[in-house]
Each structure stands twice: as structure tokens, then as C-alpha cells.
């Protein structure tokens, strides 16, 4: 029983990530805050959590005699946090202009970017079936991007481009994290990663306050942190931070390829949750899903997950 504990952590991670994606879409549709402010307010608690855990556990890599190599790794960890903050912001912009059941599968194509970079720059070679997995993901991305009401015409190009951009940014974050894990433990990485992400959004908050451009919402950025709505949005960041730790735990206990494959089931969780919410509580979240759209998104999501599973299994 204990040897399969990783499955529970992986499914818990998938559920947390799916819930966060749905929550993000609902908040953006309600236009509680501007997109940039929403991404900042919701993400800062996650970075604070990473920093706090690093301080409490002593995983900061800080010594009395700084080592140039360690300083380089610290700088790279901070930069990775900055990239992640940018990817979160792009993710919010993408969710704002897209249906969540379309956008989340597009973002899952990040594994293609990771595979290409690993092949070109890390010297990793793949068996032929990996390319079958990549082709399967491409088919899923293409299918979910179509507007079948107009034949085989592409739907929103903005959604497609934003989804692929976020996939590349998330993939870049994954590659940087993978490199850092060769030298530092996960808590040391997340500590400096949290500092990079927190500093990025803190600078944005200062800029918004100084330039007084906070027209949406009506309250300045830092006042948004102490409102009821702001508190709810910040809970999202705490939840996502917990998701990162459950993912770390799953990776520690189980095989990486299978853990990632289970976590990617968030695509289906988001899809079915969007269908249920659209039918039962359209005032909370509504997406146009008739029988044709249902089959299209379901098949596309399965193709993407299947391609991810194949690639991760063969690359491990």
C-alpha cells in the first residue's frame, strides 16, 4: 500500500491544478481585478509559502563563505522564478480570452517543447515512438483548435497562440528546474524560485502604485491584498503552492513518467468540471458545449494525454 502512495499524491496534484484552473477562469470572467493584478495577487502567497518553507527547514544554500558556483545556481533559481511569474501572467491572459476546457489542453503541449530542447541542447536521444507521441499531441492540439461549426476552419487563433506561448514558458520553467535539480534539492530551489517570483510581482505592484494606473480594480494594487475578494484570490496561490509540494512528494515516491502522466489527467478533470458547471450553474461558469463540441474536446483531450503518457514513459 505504501509503495503506491505516489498515486494518491499525483491524483491530488491533478485535482488541485484542475481546481485552480477553473477558479482562475471564474475570477477572470467576473472581472474582480485586472488580469495582471489577478495574477499577482493570486500568485504571491504561493511564493511566500516557498520562501517560508525554505527558511523554516534551513534549505537556503546560504553559507558564511559564498561560493561562485552556488551564487550562479541561486541566480538561475531566481531567474526561473521570474520566468514562472511571466508564464503565470500569460496563462491568465490566455484564460481570459479562451474557454478553460480548450486552453488547458493546449498548455499541456509543453512536453513537446521540453522534448525538442532536451534533444537539441541536452543531448537526449529518443526512441521512434516518442515522435508518435509528439504527433499524437499535435493532432489533439489541432483538433481542439478547430471550429467545427465552420467545417475544418481554425477557431480562435488568439487562443491557439496564447496556449502555445504558455506551453513554451511552462516548458522553459520545467527545463530550468530539471537542470537545477542536478545541483540543489527541491526546497532550496523553491526558496530562491519563490524570491524571484515574489520580487517580480512586488515590483509590478510598486509600479502600479507609483504610476497610479490601477483603473481596474478601482483600489490600488496593495489595497487589493486586504479586501475580501483579494483574500479569496490569494487562497488560490496557497492552494497552488500546496499542489507543488504534493507534486514534489509524488516525484519522490514514484516514477517520474507515471507521476507526470497522472498529473496530466487534470485536462480531463477540467473538461468534465466545465461541462458540469455549464449545465448546472451557468452563472458561475458557462461554455457552449453541445454534443459535437463535447465529442471534439473529449477526443482532443484524450489524444493530448495519450501523447504525453507515451512520451513521458519512453523518455524515463
Q: 301 falls in which pLDDT band (50, 70, 90)?
A: confident
Instruction: Report phi then psi at 232, rounded to 5.
Output: -65, -40
**Continuous segment of H or E residues that includes residue 4:** none
Q: Express each pLDDT in 72-109 by its tens digit.
A: 989 999 999 999 999 988 888 888 877 777 787 778 77
pLDDT at 10: 83
Nearest to 138 by CA among 313, 304, 15: 304
To 10 degrees, the CA torsion angle through 123, 168, 25, 251?
10
pLDDT at 196: 95
Any residues with CB less than 8 A from the CB of 224 and at least 6 apart, and which? 33, 37, 41, 217, 230
pLDDT at 165 over 80: yes
Comparing 254 with 50, the larger pLDDT belongs to 50
pLDDT at 152: 47
pLDDT at 18: 87
Cα 11 to Cα 271: distance, rounded to the nearest angstrom: 16
Q: 215 falls in which pLDDT band (50, 70, 90)?
A: very low
What global pTM score does this model have?
A: 0.75
Q: Express each pLDDT in 152-161 by its tens digit.
A: 445 567 777 8
- Segment 230-257 shows an average pLDDT of 75
Domain boundaries, the chain: 2-124+156-263
pLDDT at 78: 94
Given a contact cutoff of 8 angstroms between Cβ atoms, the answer to whether 184 and 60 are in contact is no
Given a contact cutoff of 8 angstroms between Cβ atoms, the answer to whether 254 and 281 are in contact is no
Amino acid at each position: 500500500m505504501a509503495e503506491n502512495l505516489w498515486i494518491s499524491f499525483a491524483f491530488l496534484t491533478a485535482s488541485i491544478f484542475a481546481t485552480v484552473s477553473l477558479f482562475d477562469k471564474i475570477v477572470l470572467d467576473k472581472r474582480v481585478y485586472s488580469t495582471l493584478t489577478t495574477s499577482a495577487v493570486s500568485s504571491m502567497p504561493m511564493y511566500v509559502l516557498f520562501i517560508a518553507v525554505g527558511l523554516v527547514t534551513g534549505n537556503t544554500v546560504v553559507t558564511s563563505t559564498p561560493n561562485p558556483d552556488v551564487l550562479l545556481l541561486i541566480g538561475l533559481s531566481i531567474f526561473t522564478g521570474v520566468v514562472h511569474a511571466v508564464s503565470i501572467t500569460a496563462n491568465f491572459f490566455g484564460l481570459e480570452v479562451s474557454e478553460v476546457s480548450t486552453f488547458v489542453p493546449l498548455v499541456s503541449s509543453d512536453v513537446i517543447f521540453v522534448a525538442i530542447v532536451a534533444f537539441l541542447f541536452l543531448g537526449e536521444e529518443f526512441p521512434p515512438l516518442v515522435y508518435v507521441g509528439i504527433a499524437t499531441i499535435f493532432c489533439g492540439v489541432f483538433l481542439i483548435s478547430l471550429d467545427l461549426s465552420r467545417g475544418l476552419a481554425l477557431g480562435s487563433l488568439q487562443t491557439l497562440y496564447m496556449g502555445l506561448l504558455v506551453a513554451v514558458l511552462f516548458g522553459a520553467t520545467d527545463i530550468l528546474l530539471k537542470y537545477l535539480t542536478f545541483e540543489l534539492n527541491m526546497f532550496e530551489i523553491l526558496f530562491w524560485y519563490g524570491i524571484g517570483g515574489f520580487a517580480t510581482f512586488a515590483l509590478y505592484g510598486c509600479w502600479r502604485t507609483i504610476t497610479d494606473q490601477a483603473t481596474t480594480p478601482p483600489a490600488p494594487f496593495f489595497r487589493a491584498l486586504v479586501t475580501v475578494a483579494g483574500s479569496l484570490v490569494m487562497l488560490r496561490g496557497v492552494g497552488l503552492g500546496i499542489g507543488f509540494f504534493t507534486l514534489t512528494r509524488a516525484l519522490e515516491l514514484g516514477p517520474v513518467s507515471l507521476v507526470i502522466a497522472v498529473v496530466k489527467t487534470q485536462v480531463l478533470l477540467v473538461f468534465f468540471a466545465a461541462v458540469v458547471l455549464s449545465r448546472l450553474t451557468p452563472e458561475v461558469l458557462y461554455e457552449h458545449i453541445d454534443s459535437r463540441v463535447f465529442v471534439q474536446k473529449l477526443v482532443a483531450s484524450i489524444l493530448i494525454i495519450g501523447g504525453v503518457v507515451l512520451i513521458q514513459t519512453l523518455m524515463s
